[in-house]
Structure 1
Amino acid sequence: MATTSFPDIPFDRFPAGRALLSDGVHDLDHAALDERIARLRTALALRSRPGAPVAILADNSPEWLAVDLATQRAGLTLVPLPLFFTPAQWQHVIQASGAQALFCADPLQGAALGFTELIDCGGPLVLCQRPAAASTAVAAELDGVQKITFTSGTTAAPKGVCLGSAQQWEVARALHQGLGALGIERHLCLLPFAVLLENIAGPYTALLSGATTICPPLAEVGLSGASGFDPQRCLDAIARYQAGSVILLPQMLAALVAAAAPGDPRLASLRFVAVGGARTPARILATARERGIPVFEGYGLSECCSVVALNLPGALRDGSVGRPLAHRALRIAQDGEIEVRCPAAHYLGQPRAGGGWLATGDLGHLDQDGYLHIDGRKKDILITGYGRNVSPEWPESALLGTGLVAQALVVGEGQPWLGALLVPARADLTAAQLQQAVDLANRELPDYAQVRRWAPAAPFTPANGLATANGRPRRPLIQQQYADRIATLFDQTEHAS
Structure 2
Amino acid sequence: MREYSVPVLVDVPPSVNCVETVFARGEQEPDAVVLSRNVGDGWTPVTAARFRDEVTAVAKGLVGAGVEPGDRVALMSRTRYEWTVLDYAIWAAGGVGVPIYETSSADQVRWIVQDSGAKVVVVETEAHRDTVAEALAGGTPDAGDAAGEAGESAGPAVYCLDAGAIDEFTAAGAEVSDETLAGRRTGRGGRDLATIIYTSGTTGRPKGCRLTHDNLMFTARNVSQGSLEALFQVDGRAALLFLPLAHSFARIIEIVLVETGTVLAHTPNMKNVGPDLQAFKPTFLLGVPRVFEKVYNSAEQTAAAGGGLKSKIFHAAAATAIAWSRAESSGGAGLGLRVRRAVFDRIVYAKLRAATGGRLNAAVSGGSALGERLGHFFRGAGIEVFEGWGLTETSAPSTVNIPGANKIGTVGKPFPGVTVRVADDGEVLVKGRHVFDGYWQNEAATAEAIDADGWFHTGDVGELDADGYLRITGRKKELIVTGAGKNVAPAPLEDRIRAHPLVSQALVVGDDRPFVAALVTLDPEALEQWKSANDRTGASLAELCADPAVIAAVQTAVDEANLQVSKAEQVKKFVILDTDFTEETGHLTPSLKVKRNLVVRDFTKEIDALYS
Structure 2 counterpart of 1:21: 35
**1:116 to partner: Cα distance:** 7.5
% identical equivalent positions: 24
Are residue 5 (structure 1) and residue 17 (structure 2) matched?
Answer: yes
- Contact 2:421/2:430 (<8 A) preserved: yes
Q: What are the residue-to-residue correspondences of 1:81-480 with 2, within 5 Å?
A: 81-106=100-125, 108-109=129-130, 110-114=132-136, 117=157, 123-124=165-166, 144-155=192-203, 157-177=205-225, 178-182=227-231, 183-184=233-234, 185-201=237-253, 203-217=254-268, 219=269, 223=270, 230=271, 233-260=272-299, 261-264=348-351, 265-267=354-356, 268-342=358-432, 343-351=435-443, 356-380=454-478, 445=586, 448=589, 449=595, 457=606, 459=608
Instruction: Please identify, of 365-374 and 9-18, the stretch whose mean Cα deviation from structure 2 is larger.
Output: 9-18
CA distance in 2, matches of 1:277, 1:165: 23
Provide closer, same or farther for how the CA distance between residues 35 and 153 of structure 1 changes in structure 2, counting only shifts above 3 A.
same
Provide closer, same or farther for how the CA distance between residues 365 and 443 of structure 1 changes in structure 2, counting only shifts above 3 A.
closer
**1:216 to partner: Cα distance:** 3.1
Structure 1 residues 356-406: Cα deviation after superposition (integer angstroms, max 9, x where no partner): 1111111112211111111222112888979xxx9x9xxxxxxxxxxxxxx
**1:149 to partner: Cα distance:** 0.7
CA distance in 1, matches of 2:458, 2:521: 18
- Contact 1:85/1:446 (<8 A) preserved: no
CA distance in 2, matches of 1:329, 1:373: 15
Question: Please, which runs of 5 or more residues in structure 1 have no aligned partner?
Answer: 128-142, 224-229, 393-408, 418-430, 461-477, 483-497
Instruction: Please identify, of 254-263 and 296-305, the stretch whose mean Cα deviation from structure 2 is larger.
Output: 254-263
**1:239 to partner: Cα distance:** 2.1
Provide closer, same or farther for how the CA distance between residues 447 and 82 of structure 1 changes in structure 2, counting only shifts above 3 A.
same
CA distance in 2, matches of 1:350, 1:363: 25
Question: Which residue among 26, 37, 52 is the counterpart of 2:71?
Answer: 52
> Secondary structure of 2:218's partner?
helix
Are residue 66 (structure 1) and residue 155 (structure 2) matched?
Answer: no
Provide closer, same or farther for how the CA distance between residues 327 and 160 of structure 1 changes in structure 2, counting only shifts above 3 A.
same
- Contact 2:209/2:436 (<8 A) preserved: no
> Secondary structure of 2:398's partner?
strand
CA distance in 2, matches of 1:120, 1:83: 13
- Contact 1:270/1:293 (<8 A) preserved: yes
Structure 1 residues 50-95: Cα deviation after superposition (integer angstroms, max 9, x where no partner): 3531100112222211211122222211110011222211111111
CA distance in 1, matches of 2:112, 2:217: 24
The alignment yields a C-alpha RMSD, in angstroms, of 4.2
Question: Which residue among 47, 54, 59 is the counterpart of 1:41?
Answer: 59
**1:106 to partner: Cα distance:** 3.4
**1:273 to partner: Cα distance:** 0.4
CA distance in 2, matches of 1:291, 1:14: 39
- Contact 1:238/1:266 (<8 A) preserved: yes
Provide closer, same or farther for how the CA distance between residues 44 and 416 of structure 1 changes in structure 2, counting only shifts above 3 A.
farther
Provide closer, same or farther for how the CA distance between residues 191 and 324 of structure 1 changes in structure 2, counting only shifts above 3 A.
same
TM-score (norm 1): 0.69
- Contact 1:442/1:451 (<8 A) preserved: no
Q: Which amino acid aligns with 2:75?
A: I
- Contact 2:72/2:119 (<8 A) preserved: yes
Q: Which amino acid aligns with 2:374?
A: I
- Contact 2:399/2:412 (<8 A) preserved: yes
Instruction: Please identify, of 106-115 and 333-342, the stretch whose mean Cα deviation from structure 2 is larger.
Output: 106-115
> Secondary structure of 2:102's partner?
coil
> Secondary structure of 2:20's partner?
coil
> Secondary structure of 2:257's partner?
helix
Number of residue pairs matched?
401
CA distance in 2, matches of 1:415, 1:322: 32
Provide closer, same or farther for how the CA distance between residues 205 and 118 of structure 1 changes in structure 2, counting only shifts above 3 A.
closer
**1:438 to partner: Cα distance:** 8.8
**1:215 to partner: Cα distance:** 1.2
> Secondary structure of 1:335's partner?
coil
- Contact 1:43/1:120 (<8 A) preserved: no
Structure 1 counterpart of 2:307: none
Q: Which amino acid aligns with 1:253?
A: F
> Secondary structure of 1:369's partner?
coil
Q: Which amino acid aligns with 1:95?
A: Q
TM-score (norm 2): 0.57
> Secondary structure of 1:79's partner?
strand
Q: Which amino acid aligns with 1:257?
A: Y
**1:189 to partner: Cα distance:** 0.3
- Contact 2:239/2:285 (<8 A) preserved: yes
The higher radius of gyration belongs to: 2
**1:194 to partner: Cα distance:** 0.5
Provide closer, same or farther for how the CA distance between residues 355 and 124 of structure 1 changes in structure 2, counting only shifts above 3 A.
farther
Question: Which residue among 60, 63, 76 is the counterpart of 2:95?
Answer: 76
Provide closer, same or farther for how the CA distance between residues 416 and 204 of structure 1 changes in structure 2, counting only shifts above 3 A.
farther
> Secondary structure of 2:390's partner?
strand
Provide closer, same or farther for how the CA distance between residues 415 and 120 of structure 1 changes in structure 2, counting only shifts above 3 A.
closer
Structure 2 counterpart of 1:30: 48
Instruction: Please identify, of 445-454 and 79-88, the stretch whose mean Cα deviation from structure 2 is larger.
Output: 445-454
> Secondary structure of 1:188's partner?
strand
CA distance in 2, matches of 1:446, 1:456: 16
Higher helix proportion:
2
Structure 1 residues 402-422: Cα deviation after superposition (integer angstroms, max 9, x where no partner): xxxxxxx996799989xxxxx
Question: Please, which runs of 5 or more residues in structure 2 have no aligned partner?
Answer: 1-14, 137-154, 170-190, 300-347, 480-489, 499-504, 508-515, 525-542, 544-575, 590-594
Structure 1 residues 192-229: Cα deviation after superposition (integer angstroms, max 9, x where no partner): 1101111112x211122121111132x1xxx2xxxxxx
CA distance in 1, matches of 2:523, 2:438: 30
> Secondary structure of 1:28's partner?
strand
CA distance in 2, matches of 1:446, 1:91: 20
- Contact 2:120/2:157 (<8 A) preserved: no
